[in-house]
Structure formats: C-alpha cells, structure tokens
C-alpha cells in the first residue's frame, strides 16, 4: 500500500538513497532536513532519479513548531528517522551536541508523532552499539557496550523507543543496526558528499582518488587481524535503502520495538578496501599508516540471520559493486553536489 512517509535526514547519504527506493515503490515522501551535513543538491538528484517530486522542509527536528507544522501539512503514515550526527571521533570531542541532537531530536520527533497519532517508525541505529567485542559475527541479542558518545546516543534512543512502546502499545518501531554503509547509487547521480574533511574511510579515499586530499591515513596496523588493520562489514547503501523500504512493509507485523542487523555478514580490512577501491579507480590509492583512532574496535561483522529469517531479506551487492558505484559518483561529481 502506498504510504506518506516522513524521512528525517532525507538529504543525507542513507536518507537520500532511501527516498529513491520509496518513490520508486510508489510512496509519497516528505523530507525534513537541516542540511547540517547534507546538501539540497541531493534532494534534486533524488527527484531526477525517481522522476517524481517529494516535499522538502528545511527544519531542525528540535524546532517543535516547525515539526508540528509538517505533521499538520501532511497525512503522515510512517516515519523513517535518520537525522542525527554520526562521526565517532567528533562525538568524543563534542558529546553534548550528540546528546542534544541525536537524543533530543528523537524525543522531539516521538512527541510530535504521538501528538498526531502516528505510531509507526523505522529508526536508524548502528552496529557501533555492540562496542569493543571479539565476538564474530554479532547477533541482535549480543550485549551492547557503546565505546563512544555517538554509539551511546544510538543505544539510548533504542532504549527510549522500547520504553515508549511499552507505554503506547499501539506503537510499532523497527530499529535497523547498520554495519558500515558505503557505495552510491549506480547511476552516479547520488552518493556520499560529507561537509568538510570526511570522517569515514570510503569518502576519504574517494576524495584522495580525485586529488582533493593527498593520501588516506590508515588508523592502526597493529590490530589482532590478519593484516593488522580493522575489519568492518561493509554494506552497499542501496541495500541499506532497500532494507528500510522492506522494513516499512513489515511495521504492522507486530507492535513494540524490534531490532535487526543490516550487514552482509562478511568483513573486509582497511587494506582490502583500499585495494578494491584502487581496482575500481584503475590506480593505487596513496595511503600512510597512522596510529589507532580513539573509539575504534578491531572487528565488527554482522550475523544477518534475523532479518533473513523474518523477511527473507539479505544484501545483494558485493564490495566490488560498492567501490565501483562510489567511484562513479565521485568521478562524476568531483566536488560533490553542485551548490544550489
């Protein structure tokens, strides 16, 4: 059934790809974004790709009056909540911003949803809540142990959502714990375009490949992994977007909070990722070894079994596709989205 879906943070990396999926599947999309780490150019690209418009509201979720007006203007059936800050290192430096924006934004959204009788929510969570664990792979019943403020805000939001579901049994919430989303839309029109120097490894190396940055710092080569660099479960952003679209279809399966990993169930080290991206680019990516980054853990790999058992859903795009698609976007948009 077509729905009217509010997508917070819909101009961001995962949000914009999810908007394309939703529009392609007949849903109406309303985006709220404050463009603090995204660009209106992404929204233009979404509409061009989908061949259909969405409605855009430039607002901060904590602006209760602005958010209320969005719910008054549109008959929202469900919400997908991405809007948040997401840099691990930055969260150690400015934790209060993370508490305020990630937790404050989520509670403001919940309150407004409640005021307007909207009870269906897909929440953007993170594998980082598992913290420093040596267990491989990780399933949803493994204990949480956030090692940085960013991860803690995601875990606290999951707990708040669980408490809200107990108080309001009509609520249905799905938290998707993504592992490491990278890649881009295969058209090359939509991708990752962070503001300032990238925090995450793939956009950093993509900017090295187009000459905007000199070389990739590799944070640590003395981890207990085969080549000494950290291992992550990279997942194509279009798979992540598809996972949200499918989650929406399953919101009514049962009430309460449900949690699912979104990952491929396979890991790649930083050096393996550099090699794969170099193959996509057609030349090696310059890098230098640096010390460990605070808050990093050696290895995080998903057990993707729960979501497959529940919905028959699994990832379909491999590391080669992730690198080729990310490179296509960066090559076609060397300076990111055009300023609008």
User: Residues in the site for ligand UD1, rule: CB under 6 A?
Assistant: 86-88, 126-128, 151, 178, 180, 199-201, 204, 216-219, 230, 232, 270, 293, 296-297, 300
**Tokens encoding 269:** 């080290």
Closest CB to ligand UD1 among 57 and 154?
154
**Angle, helices 237-249/13-24, rounded to nearest 10 degrees:** 50
Q: Return the number of the residue (41 or 267) whose C-beta is nearest ligand UD1.
A: 267
Q: How far is the CB of 197 from ligand UD1 (least distance, A)?
A: 9
Closest residue to ligand UD1 in the complex (CB): 230
**Known catalytic membership, residue 287:** no
DSSP state of 253: G
- Residue 99 CB, shortest distance to ligand UD1, in Å, is 17
Catalytic residue among 150, 155, 178, 337: 150
> CB of residue 168 vs ligand UD1: minimum separation in angstroms?
28
Minimum distance of ligand UD1 from residue 207's CB (angstroms): 10
Q: Is residue 62 within 8 Å of 101, Cβ to Cβ?
A: yes
Residue 72 neighbours by CB distance under 10 Å: 9
**Which residue lies nearer to ligand UD1 by CB, 68 or 142?**
142
Strands (E), 35-85: 55-58, 78-81
Can you point out the beta strands (E) in the chain?
A: 4-8, 28-33, 55-58, 78-81, 120-126, 172-178, 180-182, 216-219, 231-232, 234-236, 256-262, 268-269, 287-290, 299-300
For ligand UD1, which is the closer residue by CB, 184 or 216? 216
Catalytic positions, please? 150
């Amino acid at each position: 059934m077509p729905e009217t879906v509010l997508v917070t943070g819909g101009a961001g990396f995962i949000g914009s790809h999810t908007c394309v999926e939703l529009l392609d599947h007949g849903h109406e999309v309303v985006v709220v974004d404050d463009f603090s780490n995204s660009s209106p150019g992404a929204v233009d690209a979404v509409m061009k790709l989908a061949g259909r418009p969405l409605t855009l509201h430039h607002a901060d979720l904590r602006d209760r009056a602005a958010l209320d007006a969005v719910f008054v203007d549109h008959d929202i059936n469900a919400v997908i909540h991405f809007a948040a800050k997401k840099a691990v290192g930055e969260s150690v430096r400015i934790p209060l911003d993370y508490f305020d924006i990630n937790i404050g934004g989520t509670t403001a959204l919940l309150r407004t949803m409640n005021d307007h009788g909207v009870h269906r929510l897909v929440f953007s969570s993170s594998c980082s809540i598992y913290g420093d664990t040596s267990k491989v792979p990780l399933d949803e019943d493994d204990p949480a142990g956030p090692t940085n403020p960013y991860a803690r805000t995601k875990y606290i939001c999951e707990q708040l959502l669980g408490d809200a579901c107990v108080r309001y049994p009509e609520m249905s919430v799905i938290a998707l714990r993504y592992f490491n989303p990278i890649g881009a839309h295969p058209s090359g029109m939509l991708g990752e375009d962070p503001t300032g120097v990238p925090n995450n490894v793939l956009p950093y190396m993509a900017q090295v490949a187009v000459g905007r940055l000199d070389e990739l710092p590799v944070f640590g080569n003395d981890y207990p992994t085969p080549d000494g660099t950290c291992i992550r479960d990279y997942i194509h952003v279009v798979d992540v977007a598809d996972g949200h679209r499918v989650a929406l279809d399953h919101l009514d399966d049962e009430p309460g909070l449900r949690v699912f990993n979104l990952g491929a169930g396979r890991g790649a080290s930083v050096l393996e990722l550099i090699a794969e991206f170099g193959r996509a680019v057609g030349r090696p990516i310059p890098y230098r070894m640096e010390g460990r980054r605070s808050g990093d853990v050696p290895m995080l790999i998903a057990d993707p079994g729960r979501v497959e058992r529940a919905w028959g859903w699994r990832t379909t795009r491999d590391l080669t596709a992730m690198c080729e698609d990310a490179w296509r976007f960066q090559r076609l948009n060397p300076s990111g989205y055009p300023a609008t």
